[in-house]
Amino acid sequence: MERGRANRAATIQQTGLDLPAFRDRVRSIKETAAQDPSIADAFAEAVRANGGRVFFAATARDGVRYVLDICRANGAEFLVKSKSLTSEEIEMNQGLAAEGIRAIETDLGELLCQVAGEKPSHLVFPAIHMTSDRIARMLTQAYGEAIAPEPSSILSAVRARLRPQFLAATVGVTGANIGIAETGSIVVETNEGNGRLVTSVPRVHIALIGLEKIVRRWEDAADLVRGHAISATGQRMTVYVSLISQRQSVAGDPMGREFHVIILDNGRTRMRADPVFREALNCIRCGACMNVCPTYGVTGGHVFGHIYPGPIGIPWTANVHGLEDAGFAHLCVSCGLCHEICPVDIDIPWMIAKVKEQDVDAHGQPIAERFFMASEAFAKIASLTAPFANGFLSHPAVRVAMEKTLGVDRRRTLPSFAGRTLRQRLRLRTPGSGHLGRVAFFPDLYAEYNNPNLGLKAIEILERLGYSVRVPDVQWSGMPYVSYGRLEKASKLAARNLRVLGRLVEEGYAIVSTEPTAVYMLRKVYPKLVVGDLAEKVAARSHGLFEFIEPRLSALQATPAREIDGFVGFHIPCHDRALSSGIPAMHFLERAGYRVRPVETGTCCGIAGTFGMKEGWLGYELSMAVGEKLFEQFRASGCELIATESSVCSLQLRDGLSREILHPLDMIHFDSSRPSSS
């Protein structure tokens, strides 16, 4: 997974690809392809004009039946197959096997999965879960000859087995990465060369293509070919890109050579009509979302997947195989990283939230999720009763009881509560006048109930810089409602907060928060929850504290609160990656005199809001397994202090490293002789 991410990033940098512009272009091609049914009709007409035959398969069963009929008509007892995840979708191999016809996989990864009797675990690297030792043992047993666990030995053995099959096959089945309507051509991209044998040697070639993969023009196909290679493997070009328009007769073949195209619907037309799930049709199957997904990276595609694995596998599975097979949606921790990396800008987390909503409607909500969705009410009570509540909540017997009754893992450190909330403490304060402008500080739960000092420091900085600050009458940002699929509640909360914030924005206020998740909600999620101008206006005026003050940092006279010789290891929270990548917070610390280095794995720390507070493997244990790589990196980094902006990442790092974790605001002193910059 790490190598996939690194190769992709390196190729983007080396080629100087303008990623945002390329993303827009690919998205527009895919949106047109997925939404315009006339493109598939034009493609079918062009294939027929080239001498091919076209079959529109409404369902998986129809697709399998067509392949079966062709095999029977040609007396084929087996077929060779390459490059077709779509054939996995319709479970073609199983359907043919039930009728006595063998489908022989010829892509190495799929072949290994077939020998092992397992499903692919990744869209692009189906056998990534197997080691070469295991592969050698498996093939030794299957082929009845000793095979060494070296890639070259494995490849020689497989090649020797497959070559006669290509030559003997009457029927070859492939998928198609792209169909091109203007010429009736298909594009087949492979890195192994077997695709060309499957499409050219057997007398009959059947290509299976989802109707969303058909584009209008060659130029569109060229952009997609680039997008596939760069995003899937970090290659500039896939090794074999075959463009097939027609099959020519060959000498000594009196029956002629057949070309069939199956255009598969299997739920796609329904998805096309769905305002949320239609986005899934834009997927180019590059697998990049898998390479960045923190929980997929630990569990793999057999747990985090059905036939389609990984993040995009969730909406696909729910739509083409049914909700019952999409239970792995609950492995998604709503970190948002898959959306950020997707070359088509698909909002996968939003579709997953919808799948979770359908799932909890159908199967109910676990108690721990209900508890965490009541976090604001809980925080109010705990704060009212602090410090008693803190002593009570940290007592081991209480934690055992909480684990058993509420599903809150006893091993997880919980934040303590302040006796006086931020708003209560602000009542005693005289607000600054502010000549630079007006700021509404959005405290979210942590700065309101757990650490009001953090909120006070943020407000002090803003006032020193020349802003007048108020804390509006808002509730928390409500991320757990989205993470746990309660979108109706999330929408109500968002609408209420937006009414308050919208008025302030109209009065000229900027919205600022110290909590990355709150800013992520305001900017990225509220506009989905409450569609319209109001949410867009608030999103455009919402900022993280450090991002907001970055242009005026030079006016801030701050010194380090800790004298250190070494450097600060900085953790970038997932929700900040989509906003500012932690850069302004690091600049803030550097400005105060610290040396700062990001310490990171490129993915999540694992806690993911309240996910890592839940009891058991679908909570604390998975969260710590995800975090382990990051903990190792911090241990190896030699950093003297550790800082992060997120209140929950801070809990995870503290539990994983048993070290003090600081917020950047806790690491500075102001020159008290100096008033605000005014």
Closer Cβ to ligand SF4, 287 or 584, answer by number:
287
If one asks whether residue 342 binds ligand SF4 (CB under 6 A), the answer comes out as yes
User: Is 295 one of the binding residues for ligand SF4 (CB under 6 A)?
Assistant: yes
Position 135 contacts ligand SF4 (CB under 6 A): no
Q: Of all helices (H) and strands (E), which one includes residue 258?
A: strand 258-264
Query: Does 312 participate in binding ligand SF4 (rule CB under 6 A)?
Result: yes
Distance from C-alpha of 509 to C-alpha of 513, rounded to nearest angstrom: 13
State in angstroms the smallest separation of the CB of 247 from ligand SF4. Answer: 30
Site for ligand SF4 in 218-257 (CB under 6 A): 231
Assess 320 for contact with ligand SF4 (CB under 6 A): no
CB of 445 to ligand SF4, least distance (A): 21
Q: How far is the CB of 280 from ligand SF4 (least distance, A)?
A: 8
* Given 103, 271, 335, 498, the residue binding ligand SF4 (CB under 6 A): 335
Residue 616 contacts residue 409 (beta carbons within 8 Å) = yes
Rounded to an integer, what distance in angstroms lies between the CA atom of residue 36 and that of residue 214? 10
Smallest gap from residue 298 Cβ to ligand SF4 (A): 11
- The amino acid present at 571, given as its one-letter code, is H
The CA-atom distances, in angstroms, between 485 and each of 244, 327, 610 are: 44, 12, 14
C-alpha–C-alpha distance, residues 594 and 599, integer Å: 15
Residue 525 binds to ligand SF4 (criterion: CB under 6 A): no
Positions 267 through 286 that interact with ligand SF4 (CB under 6 A): 283-286
How many chain residues interact with ligand SF4 (CB under 6 A)?
31
Cβ-based neighbours of 155, under 8 Å, separated by 6 or more: 108
Which CB, 202 or 210, lies closer to ligand SF4? Answer: 210
Using the minimum distance from each CB to ligand SF4, give the nearer residue, 288 or 447.
Answer: 288
Contact residue for ligand SF4 among 289, 479, 510, 585 (CB under 6 A): 289
Nearer to ligand SF4, 458 or 572 (CB): 572
Give me the sign of the Cα torsion angle 429, 433, 436, 439. positive
Does position 288 interact with ligand SF4 (CB under 6 A)? The reply is yes
Q: Does 619 bind ligand SF4 (CB under 6 A)?
A: no
Cβ partners under 8 Å of residue 426, min gap 6? 456, 459, 471
> How many Cβ atoms are within 10 Å of 540's Cβ, its own excluded?
14
84, 154 Cβ separation under 8 angstroms: no
Rounded Cα gap, residues 116 and 383, in angstroms? 56
Asked whether position 338 contacts ligand SF4 by CB under 6 A, the answer is yes
CA contacts within 13 A on the Cβ side of 586: 17
State the minimum distance, in angstroms, from the CB of residue 9 to ligand SF4. Answer: 14
**CB neighbours of 222 closer than 8 A, spacing ≥ 6?**
none
Q: How far is CA 428 from the centre of its chain?
A: 45
Of 627, 629, 625, residue with least CA distance to 617: 625
Region 402-461 residues binding ligand SF4, contact defined as CB under 6 A? none
343 to 402, contacts with ligand SF4 by CB under 6 A?
Answer: 343-344, 346, 348-349, 352
Nearest to 155 by CA among 189, 124, 194, 188: 194
Nearer to ligand SF4, 311 or 612 (CB): 311
Q: Of residues 556-595, which lie at the interface with ligand SF4 (CB under 6 A)? A: none
Helix (H, G, I), strand (E, B) or coil at 139: helix
- Give me the least distance between CB of 328 and ligand SF4, in Å please: 10
- Identified binder of ligand SF4 from the candidate list 57, 113, 188, 337, rule CB under 6 A: 337
Q: Supply the minimum distance, in Å, between the C-beta of residue 245 and ligand SF4.
A: 26
State how far the Cα of 38 lies from the Cα of 263, in Å rounded to an integer.
13
Which residues of the shown chain bind ligand SF4 in the complex (CB under 6 A)?
123, 231, 283-289, 292-296, 311-312, 332-338, 341-344, 346, 348-349, 352
